[in-house]
Amino acid sequence: MSKAVKLKNNLYLDTRGAVHNRTILKTYLDNEKIRVDGKQDKLYDSGWKNITFPNKQYYDDYGSSDFNYCRARRIGNVVYLKGLVNVKSPRNNVDEVVCQLPSGFAPRKRWYVPAAGSTAEYNNGGHDTILTIRPDGTIHSHNSYCTGWLSLDCIIYFIDE
């Protein structure tokens, strides 16, 4: 772990010359890859955590086998999503909460990402779903005709960018 120099007014100078307050400095020191004697300190790894579904009347975890469960994993400041969302009834051009990320997984800004869906979307003249990952930790769907399932596989975003 690297050392920081305390400045005036509870500010700290890190090894790269950036100035941080105490909270940001802790995150920086916990998450940055810092080389010490040619080795890297281990990054924080949350392991896979379950994603919850506050709108169960419309969305739920597909959950038929281990690879389908909706989960999130944080390694450093990078979050990885996986799993299938069960879309229980047709959703057309709605802006609503699909799921809720675990605590500590929310980004600082909104991220817009495409999500693959079942063929039922295309059979009804639909198109890919756009998901918004919001700073409150919710994931919303946008601009789609969707029924069947949505995939969270391969969605990756940064928490503090």
Does an H or E element contain 122, and which? helix 120-123
Q: How far apart are the first and last CA of the chain?
A: 22
- How large is the average pLDDT for residues 99-125? 82
pLDDT value, residue 38: 39
Residue 156 has pLDDT above 90, yes or no: yes
How far is residue 50's CA from residue 137's CA, in Å, rounded to a whole number?
Answer: 13
Using alpha carbons, list the distances in angstroms from residue 140 to 86, 126, 127: 14, 17, 16
- Identify which of 67, 81, 55 has the alpha carbon closest to the alpha carbon of residue 159: 81
- What does the block give as tokens for 92? 């057309």
Q: How far apart are CA 130 and CA 56, in angstroms?
A: 20
Whether pTM > 0.75 for this model: the answer is no
Closest CA to 102 of 49, 161, 46, 56: 49
- Between 12 and 158, whose confidence is greater? 158
The pLDDT > 70 percentage for the chain reads 62
pLDDT at residue 114 in the model? 87
pLDDT tens string 66-94: 667 899 999 988 999 999 888 887 766 67
Query: What is the DSSP pairing of strand 45-50 with strand 71-75?
Result: antiparallel
Burial class (CB in 10 A: 0-12, 13-18, 19+), 105: buried
Q: pLDDT tens, 9-46?
A: 666 666 666 665 555 555 455 444 433 333 444 578 99
Lowest-pLDDT range of 14-18, 128-132, 137-141, 156-160: 14-18
- Amino acid at residue number 50: N
Mean pLDDT is lowest, of 51-55, 59-63, 79-83, for: 59-63
The pLDDT of residue 130 is: 85
pLDDT of residue 40: 43
pLDDT band of residue 5 (cuts 50, 70, 90) is: confident
What's the rounded Cα separation, in Å, for the pair 95 and 115? 15
Residue 2 has pLDDT above 60, yes or no: no
